[in-house]
């Protein structure tokens, strides 16, 4: 007759075996319906189970995968890295997470995400390992397509940017060429006024003066008429001279810009009830007459705007060389530019910005202290010397 202890022990063993069988059945059922591939290993890392989904993904059967056969499912290019990571995980008792490629027997390739962990017994001994494998081929393909689309878009943007930059450079070159042609034509017209009309009028003046002397010697009452004719011709010569200077204001001399700006400011002082001043403490030589003409026109436009719109009583113009840059400043003590408004539509300011851009200059409009507006145009020095005295 069995003792009660033996009966109890046998009952306990039976209950444990039933529980283990139930868990095995449950695991098999879950593995069968799981949407991911499942592969299980023994404590030595040898495969002892795969579910149907893993077989579908890899194209291997349980007989082919058992033991170390599952390794053949890993793409040869990824095999060494995946196995090294798998061995390191088992040794360090870490979670395994890796993306790699599967090489199927039919020659196709699939991307998968594998996640694995150790299986422990009741006493924390390692019973084996299990990995869940998810097919991420579609995700990888989408990533590749997005990457290719992004690369193509970036290439198109770069190409379009290059085209726009080339178009802008060509447009700027053409604009500069048109202005240079205009300046050259103005210079030619100025010479024609000075050398052609001016000399003709000078000849007429000499003849008028000679006629006046002859009539005075003859005590003719017409001598006064000859004097008035000579006076009219003399004033016409002055007007022709002023027109020539207005069309081509900067003389073809290294110090031409300094003298032209000084004359411009003086002319404004004479024509308007404003305190106009020009400062150029050290000689600033600009040998490139095209640059000099652009700077003159910028100053002329800024001064005109200040006189017409600032409502101030003083306008100061300054030309200076600071380090390796030439700076032209026009400052008034008027009401200043309206705050918070865009000034892009102002024709005068646009002309200034346009001319500055053509000579590689930067132009800034800012508030002057305590009130008023300051226009500062600055460009790299063309490299001319500074040994020419003003007015020489």
Comparing 115-119, 212-216, 283-287, the range with the smallest average pLDDT is 212-216
Local confidence band at 197 (pLDDT 50, 70, 90 cut-offs): low
Tell me which range, 167-176, 237-246, 311-320, is most confidently predicted by mean pLDDT: 311-320
Instruction: Return the CATH fold of 250-392.
Output: Heat Shock Protein 90 (3.30.565)
Local confidence band at 100 (pLDDT 50, 70, 90 cut-offs): very high
Domain range 9-135, its CATH number among 3.30.450.20, 3.40.190.10, 3.30.70.890, 3.90.550.10: 3.30.450.20
Kindly calculate the radius of gyration of the chain based on its CA atoms and give it in whole angstroms.
Answer: 47
DSSP string, 27-67: HHHHHHH-SSEEEEEETTS-EEEE-HHHHHHH---HHHHTB
Between 168 and 189, residue with greater pLDDT: 168
Predicted confidence (pLDDT) at residue 335 exceeds the cutoff of 60? yes
How much is the pLDDT for 141?
92
**Cα dist. 207→118, 123, 203, 248, 350 in Å?**
120, 131, 6, 29, 49
Predicted confidence (pLDDT) at residue 177 exceeds the cutoff of 90? no
How much is the pLDDT for 14?
58
Local confidence band at 5 (pLDDT 50, 70, 90 cut-offs): low
pLDDT digits (tens, 9 = 90+) for 30-58: 666 678 999 999 998 899 999 999 999 99
Q: Which residue in the block uniquely carries the two structure tokens 């995968």? A: 65
How much is the pLDDT for 2?
47
pLDDT digits (tens, 9 = 90+) for 351-365: 888 888 888 899 998
Asked whether the beta carbons of 146 and 136 are under 8 A apart, the reply is no
Local confidence band at 17 (pLDDT 50, 70, 90 cut-offs): low
Question: Once rounded to an integer, what is the mean pLDDT over residues 194-210?
Answer: 71
Predicted confidence (pLDDT) at residue 64 exceeds the cutoff of 70? yes
Question: Once rounded to an integer, what is the mean pLDDT over residues 150-156?
Answer: 93
Backbone angles phi, psi at 205, to 5 degrees: -65, -45
How much is the pLDDT for 55?
94
How much is the pLDDT for 173?
77
How much is the pLDDT for 386?
39
Q: Vertex 333, ends 248 and 352: CA angle to 5°?
A: 35
Between 37 and 225, residue with greater pLDDT: 37
Asked whether the beta carbons of 84 and 63 are under 8 A apart, the reply is no
Between 230 and 314, residue with greater pLDDT: 314
How much is the pLDDT for 51?
93
| Helical residues (DSSP H) of the chain, grouped into ranges | 4-33, 52-58, 62-65, 76-92, 137-191, 198-217, 223-247, 256-271, 289-305, 347-358
How much is the pLDDT for 345?
45
* Partner residues linked to 133 by β-bridges: 37, 114
């Amino acid at each position: 007759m069995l003792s009660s202890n033996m009966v109890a022990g046998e009952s306990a063993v039976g209950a444990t075996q039933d529980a283990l069988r139930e868990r095995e059945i449950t695991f098999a059922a879950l593995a069968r319906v799981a949407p991911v591939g499942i592969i299980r290993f023994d404590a030595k890392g040898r495969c002892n189970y795969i579910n149907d989904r893993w077989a579908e993904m890899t194209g291997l059967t349980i007989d082919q995968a058992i033991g170390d056969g599952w390794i053949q499912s890993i793409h040869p290019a990824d095999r060494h890295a995946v196995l090294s990571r798998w061995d390191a995980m088992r040794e360090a008792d870490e979670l395994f997470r890796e993306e790699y490629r599967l090489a199927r027997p039919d020659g196709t390739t699939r991307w998968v995400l594998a996640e694995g962990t150790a299986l422990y017994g009741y006493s924390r001994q390692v019973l084996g390992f299990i990995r869940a494998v998810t097919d991420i081929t579609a995700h990888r393909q989408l990533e590749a397509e997005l990457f290719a689309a992004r690369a193509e878009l970036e290439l198109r943007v770069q190409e379009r940017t290059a085209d726009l930059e080339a178009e802008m450079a060509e447009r700027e070159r053409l604009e500069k060429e048109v202005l240079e042609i205009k300046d050259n034509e103005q210079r030619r017209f100025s010479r024609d006024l000075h050398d052609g009309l001016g000399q003709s009028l000078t000849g007429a003046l000499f003849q008028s003066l000679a006629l006046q002397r002859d009539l005075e010697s003859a005590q003719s009452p017409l001598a006064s008429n000859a004097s008035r004719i000579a006076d009219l011709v003399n004033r016409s010569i002055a007007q022709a001279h002023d027109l020539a200077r207005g069309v081509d204001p900067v003389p073809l001399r290294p110090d031409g810009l300094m003298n032209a700006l000084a004359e411009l400011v003086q002319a404004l002082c004479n024509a308007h009830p404003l305190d106009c001043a020009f400062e150029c403490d050290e000689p600033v030589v600009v040998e490139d007459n095209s640059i000099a003409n652009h700077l003159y026109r910028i100053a002329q436009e800024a001064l005109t705007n200040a006189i017409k719109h600032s409502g101030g009583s003083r306008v100061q113009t300054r030309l200076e060389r600071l380090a390796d840059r030439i700076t032209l400043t026009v400052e008034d003590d008027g009401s200043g530019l309206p705050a918070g408004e865009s000034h892009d539509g102002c024709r005068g300011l646009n002309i200034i910005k346009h001319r500055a851009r053509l000579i590689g200059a930067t132009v800034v409009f800012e508030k002057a202290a305590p009130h008023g507006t300051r226009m500062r145009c600055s460009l790299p020095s063309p490299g001319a010397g500074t040994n020419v005295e003003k007015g020489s």
